[in-house]
Amino acid sequence: MGAMKKGPTKGSGGKHRNALKGKGPTPKAEDRVYHKAYKAKKAADRRKMADPRLAARRRAAKFTSESDDLVIGRNAVLEALRCGVPATTLYVAARIEHDDRTREIVRLAGIHGLHLLEADRLEMDRIARSSNHQGVVLKAQPFQYSSLAELVDRADKKARAMEAADSESARIAARPLFIALDGVTDPQNLGAVIRSAAAFGANGVILPERRSASVNAAAWKVSAGAAAHMPVARVVNLTKALEGLKERGYYVVGLDGGGDKLVGETGFESDPLVVVLGSEGSGLGRLVRETCDAIAGIPISSSVESLNASVAAGISLYAVSNARRKAAAE
């Protein structure tokens, strides 16, 4: 049996390599449990947790977020509840001085089955993100948008079902009609457009996700409840959405003051149709305008530069509805 080779007698010989590694940076004094700075930090944290303002902020954060749609103030909350704005929670300030409005608010909240929560003044300020809440804040329910595919499939199915009808006017009236908004950012204008769309039998409203108003409590109130049964779709790219509708047999008519035809007289009114409105200031975007099959205008006095989107929508939808009635009578 051969003699075993003897290893080095000095040094680690690589056996304790990990022991030679550094321990990392020295922890901060406040992170070392045996250091007085650690105890000072813990004491400061306890004082911070006991601060009533910060406590109110933490409690408010449990119930609301920056993205919540809130209605604040007695008159606004009362009107929202009377209009049937979908909501989940009513916040009422503790020790509030009740009047006829607050008593009616609480009564309607009970009828609608809302959660009723009481909060102190600091919590109410945090929830409302304002001190002008008058002791009541209503948390509205997020609007449920439809997909464009759902809207189109529903409209096409309705049109196919009516093709067997004996009445020509019924067949024409059932042909799909959508209204799309390009750059309309005022929720009250959006609410009025939804109301007009429902009044003239449109199949839905199409909105771009960016640079557009959303269906919030303000839009819902102006729609006078029409938002409850008028589907609204949001699309990532309005131009591509319109191009997709054209591939399915739809015609797209843009509304603009410089149009070469009058609204209701483009020749596309009796076909599956999308009417596109731009903002009052800048009108239709270039790409959206280029996608349109026709650009139509509304004849107005030269003393008025333009109409707001909701008024223009009402006139346009009436013109399309009237053109369809005339086509059915011919």
Structural domains of the chain in order of their starting residue, each with its CATH number? 52-140 (3.30.1330.30), 148-329 (3.40.1280.10)
The pLDDT of residue 97 is above 60: yes
| CA 297/CA 257 separation, integer angstroms | 5
- The C-alpha angle 290, 291, 292, rounded to 5 degrees, equals 95
Name residues whose C-beta falls within 8 Å of residue 257's C-beta, 6 or more positions apart in sequence: 283, 297, 298, 306
Taking residues 23-34, report their average pLDDT: 74
215, burial (CB in 10 Å: exposed 0-12, middle 13-18, buried 19+)? buried
Q: Mark out the alpha helices in the chain (DSSP H runs).
A: 36-50, 52-63, 74-83, 100-111, 121-128, 148-162, 168-173, 187-199, 217-222, 238-247, 286-291, 309-329
pTM: 0.69
Give the model's pLDDT for residue 241: 94
Top-confidence residue, 192 or 169: 192
Name residues whose C-beta falls within 8 Å of residue 149's C-beta, 6 or more positions apart in sequence: none
| CA 104/CA 256 separation, integer angstroms | 45
Taking residues 225-236, report their average pLDDT: 86
What the block records as the tokens of 80 is 């929202």
Taking residues 106-113, report their average pLDDT: 91
| CA 121/CA 135 separation, integer angstroms | 8
Helix axes 74-83, 100-111, angle to 10 degrees: 30
Taking residues 175-190, report their average pLDDT: 90
Give the model's pLDDT for residue 23: 66
Helix axes 121-128, 52-63, angle to 10 degrees: 50
Give the model's pLDDT for residue 60: 46
Share of residues in the chain with pLDDT > 90 (%): 23
| CA 186/CA 278 separation, integer angstroms | 12
Highest mean pLDDT among 104-113, 114-123, 135-144, 161-170: 104-113
Taking residues 213-220, report their average pLDDT: 83
Taking residues 39-51, report their average pLDDT: 72
4-16 confidence digits (pLDDT tens): 555 555 555 555 5
Give the model's pLDDT for residue 55: 53
The pLDDT of residue 320 is above 50: yes
61-89 confidence digits (pLDDT tens): 444 444 567 888 888 888 888 877 888 89
Mean pLDDT of all residues in the chain?
81
What the block records as the tokens of 279 is 């903002």
252-268 confidence digits (pLDDT tens): 999 887 777 888 888 88
Taking residues 289-305, report their average pLDDT: 84
